[in-house]
Amino acid sequence: MGLLTDPSAGQSAIVKLLTKIYPALCVMLYIGGVIYFGCLAHRKFNGGTYFSENALLPGLVKSEFHDDSFAVQYHRELLDEMETHQNSIPYSWLLAKFRQLGLDAYTQNFTLNYPLGNQQSFSGKNVYGILRAPRAGSTEALVLSVPYRPPTSVHETTAASISIMMAFARFANREKYWAKDIIFLVTEHEQLGMQAWLEAYHGVSCGKEGVLIAGDMKGRAGAIQAAINLEFHAPQISRIDIKIEGLNGQLPNLDLFNLASKMCWREGVPYTFKGRSSQHLSNEFNDWSYAFHTMMLMASTQATGIPNGNHGLYYRFGIQALTLEGFVNKRADVKFVRMGRIIEHIFRSLNNLLERFHQSFFFYLLSSSDRYISIGLYMPAIGALVAVLFVKAHAKWSQLNKDDDKNTDSEDTKLTEEQLAFKRESKVKLSQLSIQEWEDKLLKDIPNIPEDSKMHFGHIALIVVTIHGLGFFLKDLFPYYVTKLGIDGGYSTELSIYVGFAFISFLTIFISPFLNRPNYRCMIMLEIIALIELGTIFLCIAMYNISLAMFCAVLYVPFTVIMFPGRCKYFRWTQKCLWFMLHPFVLVNIIVTAYTFLMFPGDDFKENLTRAFAAIQHAMVYSIVDCIIYGNWLFSVICVTIVPTWFMFWHLSFFRPTKEDVLSLVQSEKNKLKKE
């Protein structure tokens, strides 16, 4: 490694070439990475889904579920019960039904101490029943869960899901082939109830201590292997949408998704992924465009790190899960009996498993319900984008260590007499340049750095440590302080959070022009640190959430390439404007506002602006609350990594060599001319 950085060793021809051509190389890598990622949606660049786990034996049993009449009866009774429970879960009715079916029925209470604002407390209750496996000793279990939604909920009802779950529990209790316990779970308050139940079941706390109090659990089954979450909104549906995106972008084992898809296909039930069916269009471009749209819909959901169903909270505990959501269109001909058979097929296949899901893929993208893109295919795309950052960092480092004096004699010996005469004449002209002319020349050929330009590591360390410390403050302490101040002043939590982060954001934006910038050598070193840190961040995120890494890289990488001091004031101001819009706070405002206007194109401009402002406030509060309760690290990543690296580049955008720097450069160049 010493040969790479030791100035006395000189620079190889490859390093010199890289220093000269790195801008063009960076552009090629960026364009190539983006194009390659887009091409992955084409059939020639991805593969068809298949089963890796043969022990599932999917679809090899004859369906025996015929209890749809009981599902209709349960649905009718539940609707009557919901009329008397407008805002709460009818746990007494659920407990009674579970016990009538011969299950071990329990309730679990949980409490949420809201972390922001006045720290109010909210309570909830989960109800679950356990069907003990007759052929095993409660060592393993499967879960069938449904989120309960009261009549006052803003979401569509799940009464039909609870009804078919009850009917399936009645059917399953009569069978003797179950080798795993089956837990039938009804949760309250959407994902909050599911998180509380999982924490209580495993005896852990995933969020901030003292926020979500899961309570005690009176009954347990075996280690949970897999879970299916149901969201059927009516007794008769048109299609089933399979949802898989989980917390922080995690995904279930691909075999589980394939199992659900095949069981829907076997029963003749239309199924979709991201609301889109699997289509094979004759026109090659249209086929790619359709698949690319599906892939980007998945990527946009995965990038947020927010689960699109209760299934997304299971992954943290090594439990493979997905959600089956039933939709009603013009023609609804899928009744309870076919829903029950799909559930039966899935659970009987899962019952065959001899060990946890370990084959197939856990990291992938789907371009349709029957085509997948594995991690080995999509990682080169993010690798090309990250390579741009590392290539530029290496080129800048080489510029810091290059030593032209030691190579002057050897280069001169290779020149002809005419070339040497021309070089001597050029040196005479250079020695007669004015200070302004020298400044113009040196800014065009900025790698000519004087040897006596000292590296102020203290200045660099102060910026890096301070801005990262601010990031940790924004993540851990700032939301609590700003909401407390806002509540004391009579403002809402949403407005307090928004104003507080707006103040901090614009403080970081407007304080940079007044900070000291020692010299060009220090600024280059700061740029190298920022490039390496940003590239490392993207690589780390990509190993867990490729969608978030790709979106961030596509957005930030091209603007890091064009980051350098220039003489043209229009370019400098354009550079500043671009980096201003790339500030995470400003970027969120732009994206949410644009999305609002796209979603409501016909509404009044002022009304859309008001709606967008409210959406931005809610989005910021939800991201903080999700981080505190569930451990969603999107907010943490932005505060601790993206904001500090952004500030370093923003600080660099204001750099321009001072008069002292130019005089030092001039003196260094003149000394070289005298020696030569």
| Residue carrying structure tokens 């030092």 | 664
Cα angle: 550, vertex 552, 556; to 5 degrees: 120
What integer pLDDT is reported at residue 453 of this predicted model? 53
Residue with tokens 């020149």: 415
CB-based contact 355:180 (threshold 8 Å): no
Instruction: Write out the two tokens for 577.
Output: 């404007």
Q: In this structure, what token pair is assigned to residue 627?
A: 């981080």
Residue 87 C-beta-side C-alpha neighbours within 13 Å = 2
pLDDT reported for residue 671: 55
CA distances (Å), 1 to each of 5, 9, 524, in order?
7, 12, 21
Q: Which residues of the chain have pLDDT under 50?
A: 1-4, 7-10, 403-433, 435-436, 438, 443-452
Residue 570 contacts by C-beta under 8 Å, 6 or more apart in sequence?
none
Residue 38: alpha-carbon gap to chain centroid:
18
Q: What SS3 class is residue 124?
A: strand
d(CA 175, CA 89): 29
Cβ(534)–Cβ(560) below 8 Å: yes
pLDDT for 209 equals 86
438: Cβ–Cβ under 8 A, 6 or more apart, which residues?
Answer: 662, 665, 666, 669
pTM above 0.85, yes or no: yes
* Residues contacting 504, CB < 8 A, separation 6+: 470, 474, 478
Rounded distance between C-alpha atoms, residue 446 and residue 102, angstroms: 80
Q: Are 467 and 612 in contact (CB under 8 A)?
A: no
Q: Go through 632-649 and write b for each residue having 16 or more CB atoms within 10 A of its CB, e for each that does not.
A: bbbbbbbbbbbbbbbbbb
Determine contact, residues 318/227, Cβ cutoff 8 Å: no
Q: How far is CA 661 from CA 246, 300, 433, in A?
A: 53, 46, 16
Predicted pLDDT of residue 418: 43
**Helix %, strand %, coil % for the chain, to 5?**
60, 10, 30
Of 274, 369, 270, give the one whose Cα is nearest residue 328.
270
Cα separation, 484 vs 74, whole angstroms: 47
Task: Name, in order, each residue with C-beta under 8 angstroms of 582's C-beta and a sequence gap of 6 or more.
Answer: 555, 556, 559, 646
Q: What is the pLDDT of residue 333?
A: 83
Length of the chain as a residue count: 676
Tens of pLDDT along 396-439? 888 776 544 444 444 444 444 444 444 444 444 444 445 445 45
For 490-545, give the DSSP string: T--HHHHHHHHHHHHHHHHHHHGGGS----HHHHHHHHHHHHHHHHHHHHHHHTT-
The neighbouring-strand residues paired with 182 are 131, 142
Compute the distance between CA of residue 285 and CA of residue 42 in angstroms, rounded to an integer: 9
Sequence-distant (≥ 6) Cβ neighbours of residue 414 within 8 angstroms:
none
What Cα–Cα distance (Å) separates residue 155 from each residue in 28, 148, 149? Answer: 47, 10, 7
| Tokens representing residue 239 in the block | 């299609």
Structural domains in the chain?
Answer: 2-39+382-675 (no CATH), 54-369 (3.40.630.10)
What is the SS3 string spanning 351-400?
Answer: HCCCCCCCCCCCCEEEEECCEEEEHHHHHHHHHHHHHHHHHHHHHHHHHH
Residue pair 522/455 in contact by the 8 Å Cβ criterion: yes
User: Measured in whole angstroms, how far is the alpha carbon of residue 592 from the centre of its chain?
Assistant: 16
**Residue 518's pLDDT is what?**
64
